[in-house]
Every structure is written in C-alpha cells, then in structure tokens.
C-alpha cells in the first residue's frame, strides 16, 4: 500500500469529506493527482510521503479547459534517489530509481511498482493498524514469481528533449541455447527438452549482445543483471549485477568480452560455484548521464542454472567421468526388488530431461517453501525434498498405499517411470496416487539428477523397521513355539529402496562427505515431518549416529538383530534365539555403465563379528543408540542341533515345496517337534493372512542329518495372493529332550511371466517405427480390466492401453507406432497390471540411428 499524508487550508466553513483519485503514470518522473471536492479551496498543500518517509511536493496546475470549478489537478515533480531511500547503493544494486511512488514491499526489495490507487481523507474514528516493532519482510520462496523492473531509472529530473535512442541500446541478445550449440554441449545439458538456456554453475557460458552501434569501451558502460524470485536482493544472491572485466575468476560471478565485431560483442559469463539453483531472468543495463536504460522483460533470455558435478568448487563435484555419466546423465535406471533369495530387477525411466520435468522439479522446491537463498545448498535441498516427495505432511508428490487397494489411483506396480507422476503433480498440484518405496525412490532420483546432484537408487534386502529404535526386532513366540502376531510389532521388509546423493558435508567433520542417504518414503517422522536424511553413509558405517540427519534410523535399518522371545510362566521374557545376520544382508545398486548389480554392503557396515564392527557398535551406543547385547541376558545359544530351511523356486500358479533340514551334532537321540507357518505378506513383512499350517515330529539319530519336505499347493495361495506374490515362512522347532527352541524365517517371491517387446521397421531418429508388446496369461482364470503401459525416453512418451479381458492361456498383442527423437542406445519399458496379476514387466534395448 502507498501511504500519503496531507494537510488542507480551506477558507470556507464547509468541512465535508473530500475524495481524491491518484493516478501514477509514465516513466519520466511525473505523477498526476486528480482531486475532486465539493468546496472551493483557496490553497491546498499536499505532502506525499511514501512508506520510507521521503517527502515529495506536489505543485498546483491550472484547471485547463475544465468546466467544474471543484476539479483541480496537481503534478508531482522530482525523482527518488536510491541512496536516499535505501542508504546503500551497492547492497541493492540500484544506481537510481524511476520517478514514481514505491510500494512498501518494493522499497524493501528494490522492485519498482507502477500502480493506481485511491486516496481518501481519514478521520480519528477510523481504526488504525496495530503497531509492529518488526519490519515485515515478505518471503522469497518462489522461483515463478517476478518483480517489475523499470526500463528507465532516472537519476534526477530528465531534461526535455532527452531521447534514449541517442545512447547505446541493446537490439538483441543471442543465448546460444540450441542443443547443438556451444553452451549446452559444454555444460552437458543438451539432452534437456527445454528451449531455454540451461547451464551448470561455476563454469563459463557464452552470450552475444547486438547494439544499435559499435560498442565503445572508453565511453560506453553496461552491465548484466540476473534476478530470481519476486524480491531480488544482492545480499541474498537473488539479484546479481555482473560488471564486464578483463579476467574471469574461477567459481565467481563475472563477465568478459571475448569477441567484438561491428555492432556485436560476445561475452563469456562465469557463474558462482555456490549460486542459487533455479531459473534466472536476464537484463542488460546501459548507463546514460540521466539514468539507466534496461532491456525489456524477455522470457527467451531466461537462464536455468544447475549444480555442476564437473566443477571442483561445486559441493556436488564428482571426479569420475564414468560415474558422472551414470549418476547424472543416465535417464534410465534399475530397481532391484524381490528378496534376498530371489533378487529381481526391473527398469525405471527417470526421464529427467523430458519436457517440463525441470520446471516440475523447481516447483517442488517452491512447494516445500525453501527460501531461494538456500537453494544453492544441496544439503537443504535434499532435506526438504525428502519431505515433499511424499504427501503425508505437505500435500506432496506421491500418496503412499500399502493395503493392496488402489481403486482411486494407479497401483504402484503399474508405473514405469517418474515422468507421468511429476507432470501430473505439476499440473494438478495434488498428490498422485499411489506409490511404494521404489516409486518414491525413483521420483526422488529424477529430482536429484535433473538438478545436477549425482544420485543413485539403493536397495537394502531384509531391511529392518524398528518401531522402538533399539536395534532389535522382537518376534514373540507362544508356548508351542509359534510366532504371536498380536504381540509382534516390528517387521523386516523383504527389501526397501532409498536414494544416495553425492555431496560434501561442511556441517560435519572431515571424512563424512560423499554418498548421503536420503529417503522420501514416509516411515518415521524427523523434526515433526515424514522425511529422512541426508545421512552420511560413512557416519552410518562407523557408528557416528550423532551427526545429522536421521543417522540412527538408517543405522537400525541395516544393523538390527532379530530376537525371538518367549513369555515364561512367571511373566518374564526369555530369549530363545538371536539372529545377528538376517537384517541388511545385502545392499545393492545399479552397476556403473551396465545393467548389472553392484553390491555396496561394505559401504554401510563392517563384516559381522569383526573388530571394526564391534567398534562401530560401541560408538553408536556411546552416541545414544541402545542395543541389547547377548551379554545383557541369560541367553545361551543352542549348539546341539542346527536347522536350515530352503524354498523351491516356483512360477506363479504352480505348486512348490519347502525343505527343512536338521543336523544333530551330538551323540544323543533327539525328537524335534516342528511348526511351519506360511503367510501371504506385503513386501514390508506385514502379514495379510496365514495360508499354510503344518506340524510334524522327527527323530534325529546321533550325528545324523534329516531333510523333510512340505508341499505348497497353488490352490492354497492363489485366492489371497498380493501384488508382489510374496510369502513369508516361519519355522520353529522344539527339542523335546532339552526344551530348546530353534527358529528361522525366510521370505520368497514367485516368478511372474514377463512381457515380450519387439520392434519393426528402421529405428532412425525422426522416422516412424513399430513397437509390439505381447503377453500370455499363465493363470487358469481370465484376467479382467488389464492395463498396459509402454514408454521409452527419447523414443516415445508413456502410452496406455486397456483390455477388458485376457482369457486363460491366451496371448495379448499390442502394437504401437512411434517416432523416436533422440539417437543412441535407448530402452523401452512396459508394465501390465490387473487385480489378479501385478508386477509384470518387460524391457528392450534399442539402438536409434542418426538420420
């Protein structure tokens, strides 16, 4: 709001209220005020004060050609000066302000406002706003919002006859923003489907400026201005004036003329290696004796600035070119799922270069309300992104669902990539239904790679979800040795996917930079929100769980013990068995440059039982992680009899068997009573229902081995099977002669038939080709309401086809025509989904030739 104060000296006795209409117009230091009143005034003196308190005097003009004697017009003469308003010209980067009233926000943030307002006489009876001892600074957390920048900033009164055309003027600006041109090639941004210039920070880029005449450095003076957000400030890094110098300093803002020809100059511009990530607006400002002339707002000169893993001064610098190609530029990845015994993989399209994805990722930071000044820090970006990826607190990107009911959305297993999810959220601003851990991780990976942060998707097999954070998963047994599902609250996920992001950690001691765990899956709250990380992988390995963020939770995911407890008759809990190796058995990610699996377990934990592992545990306990050790209890491990458990690999819809093997290591005869419980479970380890119960007794001769088979029939599990065809078997065995209990658990996943993808025709960029997807129904029932999805970055956008029915043992064929637009090795990814059958995938590598 523009504030005015005024006084009146009226000769007549009438004291009727006066209404004044205020018009601000033009860029030449004049403001016209039209006053209408019902009384005749002999003298009216107005003193106009803007919020900052600078007086401006209005002089009376004659009422030219007006019939009404009570209509007077006043003209404001004079201009504001930046120093008189702000007191610090360098801080705000303004040499002068146009002759116009400044709004309160603009006076603070240096954003000129052209406004029209109304001014009315006030009375003491009107309510005044309460006093506030703090200056209300508006938040600056949106990349999309803009301020208005004047094309002319006058230094004072502008003389008559001033013509800006007499001075150096900018005619055009060439950004060299095409994929084949120098900027995108050198900055590794040529894959982005975006018409604007995209560069990486801390690395020079080129632009060309065409003037109306040859540039004369001895008399002409110009500079560049990069702005981001609605309230640009130089001390916040949101307003960046760049003067032309002879030398560019590495990692600092600067500009240098590299070539001059006729009316054109070419500039090499260096951005700061710590600057804000986002979309900047570019203006070219030219100095004249009477003010500053600027280029008009032109969205074609907008410049996206991203993180730069190729720049040594950048916090995300990665020194291996093959890893940069994989963790920044690869737009397709691998998700490892299944379980520790049946490792499965599927491809996931990250699509970080696809159209509008960059804008969608920048919007996520706006959604998280991350201050623009903090967007140069990858730690802050990862922290807020881990919360906004899920929808639990802030209406974020993905709504999670683990109940096997997806009526009002897309089942998690149906997604083939991140692009559709991000674009839908960017368009609707509402959470996309539905996701599970690999979906959260896939979208998070797209976000990180799109902004230039090296990232990879990680799978932890047998991942602990420890509800009481004591590094111990408690499984309670009843008197017969069966697992009591009512008392057992902890769970072991078959697998859990999270992300690692590469960055320095200046907030931690030396040595804890590098890969950082970040997780967008909503599991537990951190500082009141569902988020996790960034947590240093090195800190987790060495037990330094005191370092932020959320290291204790991740440490528990890979290091917890499974403890089998039985309630004694006196109410105490007796430990029957402890498994120290089941959790975090295998941690993997995609191999660099290939689609294979790379094990990274040793990056998270030392070998079980080693001196280093014990030291890491002692360190974690010292920093507050509580872990009950074997020495704290009366537990004595059972050594007389060993028990092993194997599950036969089987295809969905077929029978299979499980084998329990005992080995008697003593000279005694033993009788073992065995209980087997087969459960249909979610991949998170949570039981849906028990579908198989079996018990038997076995006699063990001294120093003998006995194997016992149990058959699992398809009719026992098909009707209740969940989307990942996952089972969990608990086997407990009581040695009758000693009363000791053996316990073991194992997860298994059935094999699901894959989709077959074929291509026909020449695979050349810009020419039509044909893609065929085939699937044969393996079940003895008709599949209904089947949905097929197909996508391939650089080949075709996601396509979807629905089929009402696929009869038993019949084959479906779907043919798609497409025109690939990017040459090179590309990947086609397909998925099939229906209520009876999910997690059906197919993929095909195709080599697209140049035209």
pLDDT at site 747: 82
Same domain for 288 and 374, yes or no, is: no
- Which of the listed residues 749, 784, 807 is the one where a domain comes to its end? 749
Residue 519 designated active-site? yes
| Structural domain includes residue 116 | yes
First CA to last CA across the chain, in angstroms? 59
Q: How large is the angle between the packed helices 437-451 and 419-428, nearest 10 degrees?
A: 80
pLDDT tens digits for range 391-406: 998 899 999 999 888 9
pLDDT at site 749: 85
Contacts of 771 (CB under 8 A, 6+ apart): 757, 758, 759, 760, 790, 792, 796, 815, 816, 817, 818, 828
pLDDT at site 468: 66
| Structural domain includes residue 394 | yes
8 Å CB contact between 458 and 518: no
**19 pLDDT band (50/70/90 cuts)?**
very low
Q: Which of 354, 443, 317 has the alpha carbon at shortest distance from 390? A: 443
Residue with tokens 């149906």: 414
Q: What's the mean pLDDT in 15-26?
A: 40
Residue 527 designated active-site? no
Same domain for 840 and 810, yes or no, is: yes
pLDDT at site 638: 65
Looking at the predicted structure, is the pLDDT value of residue 4 above 70? no
- Which of the listed residues 718, 734, 749 is the one where a domain comes to its end? 749
Same domain for 190 and 233, yes or no, is: yes
Q: Which of 48, 275, 361, 437 is catalytic?
A: 437
Cα(253)–Cα(275) distance, rounded to whole angstroms? Answer: 9
Which has the minimum average pLDDT: 79-93, 146-160, 163-177, 530-544? 79-93
Domain around 841 = 756-848
Same domain for 602 and 668, yes or no, is: no
Q: Which of 794, 790, 332, 793 has the alpha carbon at shortest distance from 590? A: 332
| Greater model confidence, 147 or 80 | 147
Which has the minimum average pLDDT: 99-103, 363-367, 681-685, 730-734? 99-103
pLDDT tens digits for range 253-265: 999 999 999 999 9
Q: What's the mean pLDDT in 79-99?
A: 32
Is residue 608 a known part of a binding site?
yes
pLDDT at site 26: 38
| Structural domain includes residue 389 | yes
Share the mean pLDDT of the chain.
Answer: 83
Same domain for 503 and 607, yes or no, is: yes
pLDDT at site 132: 60
8 Å CB contact between 517 and 537: yes
- pTM for this predicted structure: 0.81
Q: E strands of 331-454, at which residues?
A: 332-338, 343-349, 398-400, 432-435
Cα(332)–Cα(649) distance, rounded to whole angstroms? Answer: 29
8 Å CB contact between 5 and 48: yes
Looking at the predicted structure, is the pLDDT value of residue 87 above 60? no
pLDDT at site 133: 64
**51 pLDDT band (50/70/90 cuts)?**
very low
- For residue 794, the domain's CATH number is 2.60.40.10
Is residue 394 a known part of a binding site?
no
Element spanning 293, H or E? strand 291-294
How many alpha carbons lie under 13 Å from residue 159 in its C-beta half-sphere? Answer: 5
Same domain for 162 and 114, yes or no, is: no
pLDDT tens digits for range 442-476: 999 999 999 999 999 999 999 998 766 677 888 88
Q: E strands of 53-165, at which residues?
A: 55-61, 71-76, 116-120, 152-154
Same domain for 644 and 718, yes or no, is: yes
Q: Considering its fold, how many domains does the chain have in total?
A: 5
| Structural domain includes residue 417 | yes
- Which of the listed residues 74, 103, 120 is the one where a domain comes to its end? 120
Same domain for 737 and 770, yes or no, is: no
Q: What's the mean pLDDT in 184-212?
A: 98
Q: Which of 280, 267, 282, 268 has the alpha carbon at shortest distance from 237? A: 280
- Dihedral of the CA atoms 270, 272, 278, 282 (nearest 10)? -40
Residue 437 designated active-site? yes
| Structural domain includes residue 361 | yes
Q: What's the mean pLDDT in 330-351?
A: 94
Is residue 83 a known part of a binding site?
no
8 Å CB contact between 434 and 415: no
Which has the minimum average pLDDT: 75-84, 131-140, 330-339, 556-565? 75-84
pLDDT at site 105: 34
Residue with tokens 């590598």: 845
Q: Which of 92, 187, 188, 496 is catalytic?
A: 496
* Main-chain phi, psi angles of 449, to 5 degrees: -65, -35
| Structural domain includes residue 349 | no
Cα(435)–Cα(426) distance, rounded to whole angstroms? Answer: 17
Looking at the predicted structure, is the pLDDT value of residue 420 above 90? yes
**484 pLDDT band (50/70/90 cuts)?**
confident
User: What distances in angstroms separate CA 809 from CA 715, 753, 777, one per listed residue?
Assistant: 18, 12, 5
Same domain for 378 and 438, yes or no, is: yes
Same domain for 85 and 231, yes or no, is: no
pLDDT at site 48: 34
- For residue 457, the domain's CATH number is 3.90.260.10
Residue with tokens 């560069």: 199
pLDDT at site 490: 79
Peptide bond preceding 534 in cis form (omega within 30 of 0): yes
| Greater model confidence, 202 or 762 | 202
Q: Which of 32, 24, 82 has the alpha carbon at shortest distance from 292? A: 82
Q: What's the mean pLDDT in 763-787?
A: 93
**360 pLDDT band (50/70/90 cuts)?**
very high
pLDDT tens digits for range 717-726: 888 777 777 8
Same domain for 91 and 206, yes or no, is: no
| Structural domain includes residue 145 | no
| Structural domain includes residue 473 | no
Same domain for 290 and 374, yes or no, is: no
Is residue 613 a known part of a binding site?
yes
Q: What is the DSSP letter of 236?
A: G
Q: Which of 466, 474, 519, 723 is catalytic?
A: 519
């Amino acid at each position: 709001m523009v504030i005015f104060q005024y006084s009146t000296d009226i000769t007549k006795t009438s004291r009727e209220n006066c209404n004044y209409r205020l018009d601000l117009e033009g860029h030449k230091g004049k403001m016209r005020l039209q006053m209408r009143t019902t009384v005749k005034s002999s003298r009216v003196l107005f003193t106009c004060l803007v919020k900052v308190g600078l007086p401006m005097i209005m002089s009376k003009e004659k009422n030219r050609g007006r019939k009404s004697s009570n209509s007077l017009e006043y003209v404001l003469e004079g201009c504001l000066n930046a120093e008189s308003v702000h007191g610090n010209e360098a801080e705000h980067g303004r040499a002068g302000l146009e002759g116009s009233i400044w709004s309160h926000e603009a006076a603070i943030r240096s954003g000129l406002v052209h406004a029209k307002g109304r001014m009315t006489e006030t009375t003491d009876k009107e309510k005044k706003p309460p006093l506030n001892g703090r200056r209300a600074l508006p938040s600056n957390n949106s990349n999309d919002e803009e301020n208005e920048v004047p094309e002319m900033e006058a230094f004072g009164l502008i003389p008559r006859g001033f013509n800006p055309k007499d001075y150096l003027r900018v005619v055009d600006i060439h950004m060299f923003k095409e994929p084949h041109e120098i900027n995108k090639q050198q900055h590794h941004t040529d894959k982005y489907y975006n018409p604007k210039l995209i560069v990486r920070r801390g690395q020079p880029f080129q632009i060309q400026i065409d003037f109306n005449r040859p540039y004369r450095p001895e008399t002409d003076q110009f500079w560049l201005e990069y702005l981001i957000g609605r309230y640009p400030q130089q001390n916040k890094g949101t307003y960046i004036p760049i003067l032309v110098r002879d030398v560019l300093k590495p990692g600092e803002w600067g500009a240098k003329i590299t070539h001059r020809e006729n009316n054109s100059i070419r500039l090499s511009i260096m951005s700061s290696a710590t600057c804000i990530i986002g979309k900047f607006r570019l203006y070219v400002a030219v100095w004249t004796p009477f003010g500053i002339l600027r280029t008009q707002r032109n969205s074609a000169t907008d410049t996206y600035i991203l993180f730069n893993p190729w720049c040594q001064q950048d916090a995300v610098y990665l020194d291996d070119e093959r890893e940069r190609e994989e963790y920044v530029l690869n737009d397709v990845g691998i998700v490892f799922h299944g379980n520790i015994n049946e490792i499965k993989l599927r491809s996931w399209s990250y699509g970080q270069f696809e159209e509008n994805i960059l804008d969608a990722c920048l919007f996520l930071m706006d959604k998280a309300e991350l201050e623009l000044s903090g967007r140069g820090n990858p730690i802050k970006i990862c922290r807020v992104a881990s919360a906004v990826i899920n929808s639990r607190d802030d209406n974020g990107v993905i709504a999670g669902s683990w109940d096997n009911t997806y009526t009002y959305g897309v089942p998690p297993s149906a997604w083939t990539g991140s692009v559709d999810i991000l674009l839908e959220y960017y368009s609707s601003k509402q959470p996309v239904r539905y996701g599970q851990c690999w979906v959260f991780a896939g979208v998070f990976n797209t976000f990180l790679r799109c902004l230039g942060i090296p990232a990879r998707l990680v799978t932890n097999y047998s991942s602990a979800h420890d509800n009481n954070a004591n590094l111990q998963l408690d499984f309670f047994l009843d008197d017969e040795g069966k697992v009591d599902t009512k008392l057992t609250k902890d769970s072991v996920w078959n697998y859990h996917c999270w992300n690692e992001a590469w960055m320095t950690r200046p907030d931690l001691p030396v040595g804890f930079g590098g890969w950082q765990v970040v997780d967008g899956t909503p599991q537990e709250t951190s500082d009141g929100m569902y988020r996790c990380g960034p947590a240093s992988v090195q800190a987790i390995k060495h037990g330094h769980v005191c370092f932020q963020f959320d290291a204790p939770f991740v440490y528990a995911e890979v290091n917890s013990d499974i403890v089998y407890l039985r309630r004694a008759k006196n109410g105490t809990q007796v430990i029957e068995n402890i498994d120290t190796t089941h959790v975090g058995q295998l941690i993997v990610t995609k191999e660099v440059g290939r689609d294979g699996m790379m094990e990274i377990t040793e990056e998270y934990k030392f070998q079980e039982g080693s001196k280093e592992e014990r030291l890491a545990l002692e360190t974690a306990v010292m920093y507050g992680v509580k872990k009950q050790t074997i020495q704290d209890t009366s537990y004595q491990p059972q050594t007389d009899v060993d028990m092993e458990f194997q599950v036969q690999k089987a295809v969905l819809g077929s029978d299979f068997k499980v084998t329990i093997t005992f080995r008697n290591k003593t000279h005694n005869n033993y009788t073992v009573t065995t209980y087997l419980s087969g459960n249909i479970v979610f991949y998170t380890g949570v039981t849906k229902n028990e579908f198989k119960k079996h018990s038997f007794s076995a006699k063990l001769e001294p120093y003998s081995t006995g194997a016992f088979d149990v058959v699992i029939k398809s009719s026992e599990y098909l009707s209740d099977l969940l989307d990942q065809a996952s089972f969990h078997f608990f086997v407990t065995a009581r040695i009758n002669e000693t009363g000791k209990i053996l316990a073991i658990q194992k997860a298994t996943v059935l094999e699901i038939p894959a989709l077959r993808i074929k291509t026909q025709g020449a695979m050349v960029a810009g020419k039509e080709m044909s893609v065929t997807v085939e699937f044969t129904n393996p079940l003895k029932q008709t599949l209904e309401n089947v949905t097929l999805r197909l996508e391939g970055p650089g080949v075709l956008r996601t396509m979807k086809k629905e089929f009402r029915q696929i009869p038993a043992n019949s084959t479906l064929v779907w043919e798609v025509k497409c025109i690939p637009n990017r040459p090179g090795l590309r990947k086609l990814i397909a998925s099939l989904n229906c209520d009876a059958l999910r997690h059906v995938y197919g993929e095909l590598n195709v080599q697209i030739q140049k035209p």
